[in-house]
């Protein structure tokens, strides 16, 4: 096992380098980079772009002189060859120095940490609610397969799955966010302006009061996949030969289910926990964050792509790729923890 873990850790290095290399090469061919955007902004302001006091003639259409353009390219590091910039970026990333944003003028780490509370709040609670509801519901559906309860719950979760989260968000805002009907829930932010003045219980209630509508939009469509997966896995185990043998020996149905079926059926669900847990943190929904005015990692990544803020784009990609690779390793190790029969060093 130690040799397997070491080999996986060593393989992460070329994988990360490959991801960054492909992304870096693609970025070189994307039009409208940070230099071009700043030049366009300077032209818009008028690199002599004030209104002349005497003639009232706007001079904003004048271009940027070559010396100023060279200064801008040097400011962003584009005065050096691409391979030098890539190697310099790799060396900084090895020291976990993600650089500074071109437009926010802050460190990339600082920006990620600043936006993380929103993504953590949405991700953590949506993950917990989804699994807390879906797994018991899937088990109940498997036990009552074909019953009216199974039919009604399947219809309900599939209808929820068919409704896009952003459409539900707009509907909730209209109905309960002060749109055309009621003002029940707040429209923006994770907390109220007077959050610090509230009691501990008041702060908890205020926090979940702000999260109610965004979480509803995120989890309603998530129930279907996990619930149906749980149901199908349990049904598959219930129909296996060892269950028939256990019943033939006269074991109580409750013992057969919880002692044998439950443990084996949970293997694919438990081993998916690490990826689902981490993914929920960092796969924030841009549309949900935009609709409810939540400034999280989804909005940060979108703005970085639009503005060609390459340090933020590549830095966020590096962090998420590293977390993803580590999560895949943890997921594989969970197989051996749940089922000791799994051996990675076997032929």
Query: Rounded to an integer, what distance in angstroms lies between the CA atom of residue 47 and that of residue 70?
Result: 15
| Total number of residues shown for the chain | 347
Q: CA torsion 105→110→116→117, rounded to 10°? A: -100
What value does the CA radius of gyration of the chain take, rounded to a whole number of Å? 27
In a domain? residue 100: no
In a domain? residue 4: no
Residue 151 has a pLDDT of 92
CB 185 within 8 A of CB 161: no
Q: Which domain holds residue 298?
A: 111-338
In a domain? residue 104: no
For the chain, which ranges sit under pLDDT 50? 47-61, 347
Same domain, 224 and 118: yes
Query: Rounded to an integer, what distance in angstroms lies between the CA atom of residue 186 and that of residue 292?
Result: 9
Distance separating the N- and C-terminal Cα atoms of the chain = 14
Residue 51 has a pLDDT of 38
Q: Which two tokens stand for residue 131?
A: 């699994």
Buried b / exposed e along 222-240 (16+ C-beta atoms within 10 A): bbbebbbbbbbbbbebbee
- Residue 332: is it exposed, middle or buried by C-beta count within 10 angstroms (0-12/13-18/19+)? middle
How far is the CA of 222 from the CAs of 47, 208, 209, 294, 336, in angstroms?
51, 19, 21, 20, 27
Residue 48 has a pLDDT of 42
Query: Rounded to an integer, what distance in angstroms lies between the CA atom of residue 51 and that of residue 74?
Result: 29
In a domain? residue 213: yes
Query: Rounded to an integer, what distance in angstroms lies between the CA atom of residue 66 and that of residue 141?
Result: 70
Measure the CA angle with vertex 196, ends 192 and 201; round to 5°. Answer: 85
Instruction: Select from 94, 125, 152 the last residue of a domain.
Output: 94
32 dihedral zone (left: phi>0; alpha: psi -120 to 50; beta): left
Same domain, 171 and 312: yes
Same domain, 127 and 231: yes
pLDDT, tens only, 43-93: 665 544 443 344 444 344 455 667 777 777 777 677 778 888 888 888 888
In a domain? residue 289: yes
User: Residue 100 pairs with which residues in a beta bridge?
Assistant: 107
Same domain, 67 and 115: no
Instruction: Domain count for the chain, please give it.
Output: 2
Residue 180 has a pLDDT of 65
Instruction: Select from 60, 94, 128 the last residue of a domain.
Output: 94
3-state helix, strand, coil in the chain (%, to 5): 70, 0, 30
Q: Which two tokens stand for residue 162?
A: 């068919």
Give pTM, 2 decimals. 0.72
In a domain? residue 6: no
Q: Which two tokens stand for residue 10?
A: 């060593």
């Amino acid at each position: 096992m130690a040799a397997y873990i070491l080999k996986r850790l060593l393989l992460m290095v070329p994988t990360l380098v490959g991801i960054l290399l492909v992304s870096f090469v693609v970025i070189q061919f994307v039009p409208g980079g940070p230099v071009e955007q700043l030049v366009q902004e300077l032209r818009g302001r008028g690199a002599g772009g004030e209104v002349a006091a005497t003639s009232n003639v706007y001079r904003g259409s004048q271009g940027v002189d070559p010396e100023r353009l060279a200064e801008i390219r040097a400011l962003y590091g584009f005065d050096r060859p691409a391979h030098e910039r890539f190697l310099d970026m790799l060396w900084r990333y090895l020291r976990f120095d993600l650089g500074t944003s071109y437009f926010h003028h802050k460190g990339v780490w600082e920006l990620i940490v600043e936006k993380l509370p929103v993504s953590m709040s949405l991700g953590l609670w949506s993950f917990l609610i989804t699994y807390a509801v879906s797994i018991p519901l899937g088990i109940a559906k498997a036990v009552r397969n074909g019953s009216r309860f199974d039919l009604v719950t399947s219809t309900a979760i599939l209808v929820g799955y068919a409704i896009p989260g952003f459409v539900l968000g707009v509907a909730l805002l209209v109905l309960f966010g002060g749109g055309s009907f009621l003002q029940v829930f707040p429209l923006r932010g994770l907390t109220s302006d007077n959050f610090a003045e509230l009691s501990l219980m008041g702060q908890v209630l205020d926090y979940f009061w702000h999260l109610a509508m965004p979480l509803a939009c995120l989890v309603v469509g998530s129930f279907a996949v996990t619930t149906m997966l749980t149901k199908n896995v349990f049904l598959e185990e219930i129909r296996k030969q060892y269950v028939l043998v256990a019943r033939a020996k006269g074991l109580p149905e409750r013992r057969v289910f919880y002692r044998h079926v439950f443990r084996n059926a949970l293997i694919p669900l438990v081993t998916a926990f690490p990826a689902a847990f981490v993914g929920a943190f960092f796969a924030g929904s841009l549309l949900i964050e935009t609709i409810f005015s939540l400034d999280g990692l989804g909005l940060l990544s979108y703005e970085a792509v639009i503005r060609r803020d390459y340090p933020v784009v590549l830095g966020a990609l590096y962090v998420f790729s590293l977390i993803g690779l580590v999560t895949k390793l943890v997921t594989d190790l969970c197989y051996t923890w749940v089922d000791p029969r799994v051996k990675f060093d076997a032929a």
